[in-house]
Amino acid sequence: MTFLSSLSSLLKPVLYALFLLVWTVPIAWADAVGETELVIHAVDFPPYEIENPGPDGRLGFDVEIAVEAFKRVGIAARVDFLPWNRVLSMAEHGTTVAALSCAKAESRDHYFNYSDPISSSTNVYVALKDFKGRIPQTLADGKGFKIVVVAGYTNEFELRDAGIPYHPAVNDEGALNILIKRKFDFFYSTREFVQHIAVDLKISGKLQYFTTGNSVDFHLCFSRLWPNSKVLLEKFNKGLAEIRADGTFEAIHAKYQ
């Protein structure tokens, strides 16, 4: 075997590896930054995300903001709906690019990169109109009451961390049913959301709200295991800053007021 033929034999695997790198990296990059449509996952959480839009066609202000922010940086995106615990599991295992809308929580930090804030929520104790007990003014004031909360939401983490006993519900409608039919004192949740669905459920007149003084920022939360997650995060934040600067962000929110 000559020196050249030996060299050729040694170089073949290296050249093949370089060939694969040259061709597969652009494909992965294209998939990650928008040559194909990004699919974000969310739970039905109006007015933030609306799985079944009404005649007005409104998709939820966080959905509109997320899609528009990506559009500004040349990335096509859409939102698909699944149960929240499944969305979180997919994010943890890298099978979804991002979750919407998502609040920061220590239990999520190891598998999420958080965008700049896209919206916020007002945390409240929801009670029936005929509630006659002591009115809570802080989260801690809920101690001693029968409280229901949706399992897996940051509202649950707040109660747990504050050492406040609660009953976990599978979803929001289930929590409201427990509040109304099982005579619980409070449903700890997000005022904006409960007010919205109370209209659809025709129970607005049955509820009252006690603000705890807590508010939570929502983010688009990117799975750390998704290819080029940090690049997508930077691009999204760039698009988000652009729609804030030109008034589009406020215009979207104004449609829901």
* Full pLDDT tens readout for the chain, 257 residues: 443 344 345 444 443 443 333 333 333 343 444 447 999 999 999 999 999 998 989 999 999 999 999 999 999 999 999 999 999 999 999 999 999 999 999 999 999 999 999 999 999 999 999 999 999 999 999 999 999 999 989 999 999 999 999 999 999 989 999 999 998 999 999 999 999 889 888 999 999 999 998 888 999 999 999 999 999 999 999 999 999 999 999 999 998 87
Hey, is 175 helix, strand or coil?
A: helix
Give 201's Cβ-side CA count (13 Å radius).
18
pTM: 0.74
CATH superfamily, region 121-216: Periplasmic binding protein-like II (3.40.190.10)
Q: What Rg, from alpha-carbon coordinates, does the chain have?
A: 23
Q: How far apart are CA 212 and CA 135, in angstroms?
A: 10
CATH of the domain spanning 31-119+217-254:
3.40.190.10
pLDDT of residue 256: 83
Q: What is the pLDDT of residue 135?
A: 96
Q: Smallest Cα–Cα separation from 117: which of 135, 98, 103?
A: 103
pLDDT of 7 reads: 38
Locate CATH 3.40.190.10 in the chain.
31-119+217-254, 121-216
Place of tokens 């209209």: 199
Instruction: Characterize 79-92 residue by residue with b for buried, 16 or more Cβ atoms within 10 angstroms of its Cβ, and e for exposed.
Output: bebbebeebbebbb
Tell me what pLDDT residue 72 has: 97
- What separation in angstroms does the CA of 212 have from each of 55, 140, 190, 209, 243? 34, 9, 11, 10, 31
Helix (H, G, I), strand (E, B) or coil at 188: strand
